[in-house]
Amino acid sequence: MPKLIKNSEIIENQYHWLQEAEQEVTATSIVAAQKWLTEKDTMTGIAGIWLEAGDGVEFLEGVDLTQFDVIGVHFPAFTDGRGFSYARLLRERLNYQGEIRALGNFIPDQLGYLLRVGFNSFQFNENVDLEKALLLHKSFSIAYQGDVSEPRPLFLRR
Cβ burial of 65 (10 Å; 0-12, 13-18, 19+) is: middle
Q: Are 119 and 110 in contact (CB under 8 A)?
A: no
Rounded mean pLDDT, 42-68: 92
- Domain ranges for the chain: 3-141
Spell out the alpha helix ranges (H) of the chain.
Answer: 33-39, 82-92, 111-117, 130-135
Number of Cβ within 10 Å of residue 54's Cβ equals: 9
Q: Give how far Cα 111 sits from Cα of 35, 77, 155, Å.
A: 28, 15, 25
Give the integer Cα–Cα distance in Å for 74 and 132.
21
H or E segment to which residue 100 belongs: strand 99-104
Q: What is the pTM of this model?
A: 0.88
Q: What would the pLDDT profile of 93-130 be if each residue is shown by its tens digit? A: 999 999 999 999 998 888 888 998 999 999 998 888 89
When the candidates are 1.20.1530, 3.30.70, 3.40.50, 1.10.1200, the CATH number that belongs to 3-141 is 3.40.50
Residue 99, helix vs strand vs coil: strand
Considering only CA atoms, which of 50, 89, 88 is closest in space to residue 69? Answer: 50
pLDDT in tens, 123-154: 998 888 899 888 876 666 777 787 887 788 88
Helix (H, G, I), strand (E, B) or coil at 73: strand
Q: Which of these ranges, 36-40, 69-73, 89-93, 99-103, has the smallest mean pLDDT?
A: 36-40
> pLDDT band at residue 29, thresholds of 50, 70 and 90?
very high
